[in-house]
Chain A
Amino acid sequence: MPSLGADMEAGVLTKWLVKPGDAVRRGDIVAVVQTEKADVDVEIFATGQIEKIVVSEGEKVPVGAVLATVRVEGEAPASVSPAPAAPAAPAPAPVRPPAAAPDERPRVSPAARRRAEELGVDLSRLQGTGPAGAVTLDDVAKAAVASASPAAAPADRAAAMRRAIAAAMSRSNREIPHYYLGTEIDMGAALEWLAAENAKRGVAERVLPAVLLLKAVALAVREIPEMNGFFADGAFRPSAAVHLGVAISLRGGGLVAPAIHDADRQPLSDLMRGLSDIVARARAGSLKSSEMSDPTLTVTNLGDLGVESVFGVIFPPQVALVGFGRIVERPRVRSGIVVARATVIASLAADHRASDGHRGGRFLAAVDALLQKPEAL
């Protein structure tokens, strides 16, 4: 079970898209997993052949549990090593082992399994009292009564998502020594250039100002790599690739921050298409596992809601979060004269274990400088 974000502890395997014997290629979507936040398409990390399906549809298993075994290309059938169907994201939190090894899973009657699903009872935690320790309908009913506390009740999705966000953000505030910086960036040049560019384009090809901000952040990482990567196992591990997490609020509440891969290497038009696509899929609840598990740096843009500045909470195990407020005309002094300029307040929340305020300041300065030359973005 891959870790699809720092706030995920377990997931329900809702659907297998492959069966034993199927040939798979790295990146193929092999299963659908339901988390508290979304239905996620799980991509496989290896090329080979599906050997055995370990977790059946409808089962809820913790992050790190083996979903299926894959015979990697060139490997002899005899030396099958169990491998998770997708890599777990670097998560500093201890990964809980599966409640039971695949072959000693509790026996459960189909009726009991159905009932457990209805009642939200986690079968892996049950001690069966039936023949050979099988879980019976009665066991499920008893467990449901025992766990009928507010925390255990699988309330609606919104409440589950709120809990997941709370858990990740609590962990962030507990573990990450944040520091915060803010600066006002002149957006005049960027917006003028963008308006002229968009005037040449049809509606479908237009680029939003947010895309310029994303690209500037992605490129600034090349100058200040300490903002991009993970803090895991007591050390900062910078990432060579820039997978930009984009905080997306969901209509009806909640938040996901999936990644746009290699944002630093994409032309603005591609980045715009990527953003548009990922926002649409986030809201439709169909993201891919790689998007959920590997952002290296997240950007939150609350400007659309009208706030002028936002100081974020870092998504662990990432080490920084860049925030942008609303782009608005403000008085600026240029050559001793007060002029109205469109500006945005950029903020940085960063992890003191990976960098200090001096480097953080350099990072925001780099973002600023990049936005003054929009044609080069």
Chain B
Amino acid sequence: MNIRTVPSDADLRKTVFAALRKVAPDVDPAQILDSESLRDQTDLDSMDFLNFVLGLHAALGVEIPEADYRRLESVQGIVAYLRERLSAGEAPA
């Protein structure tokens, strides 16, 4: 049984931008379109992206397998993915 409450989408979005700020401090969240590719908008290379995923993992405790990276395209997609994983409990895919 999962007794942990899943954060709201607004909180997840905050977590996403907190993780992003660590790898790309120059990015202004207000300029990011939630439905567009995050990497294209912020010029993240694969090392930045890995550190970003690491930041999400540290903040939420979610294991994100490489196979799921394609679902982390936009902020919208990332929030949806995180919500799904957190609702499903801890079990990694």
Contacts and interface: CB of A to CB of B under 8 A. Distances in A.
Are A and B interaction partners? yes
Task: Give the interface SS of chain A, mostly helix, strand, loop or mixed.
Answer: helix
Interface stretch (B8-16, B28-36, B45-53, B71-79): B45-53
A252 interface: yes
B80 interface: no
**Contact-residue size bin, chain A (C-beta under 8 Å from the other chain):** 10 to 19
B24 A251 contact: yes
A145 interface: no
**Contact-residue size bin, chain B (C-beta under 8 Å from the other chain):** 10 to 19
A198 B53 CA distance: 14
Contact of A203 (B45, B47, B54, B67): B54
Given A195-B66, A199-B66, A276 B26 contact: no
B90 interface: no
Contacts of A73: none
Contacts of B64: 203
A55 interface: no
Contacts of B45: 249, 304-305
A182 B54 CA distance: 35
Contacts of A160: none
Contact of A210 (B46, B51, B63): B46
Given A204-B54, A304-B45, A251 B26 contact: yes
The 10 closest A-B pairs by CB, nearest first: A304-B45, A203-B57, A203-B54, A198-B66, A279-B47, A304-B46, A208-B46, A203-B53, A251-B26, A204-B54
Given A204-B57, A210-B47, A276-B50, 5 more contacts: A198-B66, A199-B65, A202-B57, A206-B50, A280-B51
Interface of B: 24-26, 43, 45-47, 50-51, 53-54, 57, 63-67
